[in-house]
Structure 1
Amino acid sequence: MTPEVTVTVRLVRSFEHRNFRPVVYHGVNLDQTVQEFLEFIKKDIAVRVGLPPPFRKHTYDTMKIIHQAHGAKTNELVVGLEDDEKLILRHGQSLQEAGVANETELALFCDTDYRQYKKNPVSTW
């Protein structure tokens, strides 16, 4: 049986404006698929108290590993732009197969926004 873990999900609303909010999930089952976890998060943030409406209503469709416990962190403030093939979670995989473990930090964002930001990674204030 796979243990349940704690995962931090960084809801990224804007890459350019560095606009994101972390949400912590305890008791995450690593046997569930990436798609199941994504659907769970979408339902949760839609009704989560204390989360501003722009974050609750934003379109999220992609998750990427930002940081693993005891690993190196990226210098990028919102999400690292490298290693997409390895770090972006694919929908058919279980969370464990995708590399999620206890205390993993994930970014949840709109893929279209991410691809646009990657072409011109400039932050505005």
Structure 2
Amino acid sequence: MATYTDFSDVHTNLARPKNSAILTVRVIKSFQYRTERSLVLKDINLETTTVGQLKDISRQAIQIQPGWKPYRNVELDAMKLYSQAHGAKTTNLIINLDHDEWILTDDSKTLAEAGFENETEVSLFNRDLYEQFRENPKTTW
């Protein structure tokens, strides 16, 4: 007889162990046109995977998975935390322009050290394009 485990009182960010997290990488092609696509990565070990490795995993997935051709010519060199499960989200649809301390500059830091949990969303983008957008955050349709 199958047993039922009730996870209704467990937040999703705590429902999976740190060695098997699900992360969403928001790959941003254009800030101005709000062009982004989400890449869902499963079974990521937050305690051993570094920020640099996550960038490499994401870029590799973009190169080999179908449907990512428009994103293959963008130099994706920076990451910034976007949101955590059950946390507040920004009102900007493409990236949070506040909290510059959320930009992940240390590629040797593990994801757990950088504050990642299960169901964390992180943006992957070109840092120069981000800085230009911060100076003039206008969007075009």
Pick the TM interval, shorter chain.
Answer: over 0.9
Structure 1 length as normaliser, TM-score?
0.93
CA RMSD of aligned residues (A): 1.2
Query: Which residue, 29, 47, 53 being the options, matches 2:64?
Result: 47
Change (3 A) 1:21 1:68: same
Q: How does 1:1-125 map to 2 (within 5 A)?
A: 2-30=18-46, 31-51=48-68, 53-85=69-101, 87-89=102-104, 90-125=106-141
Give CA deviations for 1:17-71 in whole Å, capped at 9, x if unaligned.
Answer: 00000110000111211011111111111111122x1212211011111110010
Gaps of 5+ in 2: 1-16
Q: Where has structure 1 moved over 4 Å in runs of 4 or more? A: none
Gaps of 5+ in 1: none
Name the structure where strand makes up a greater proportion of residues: 1
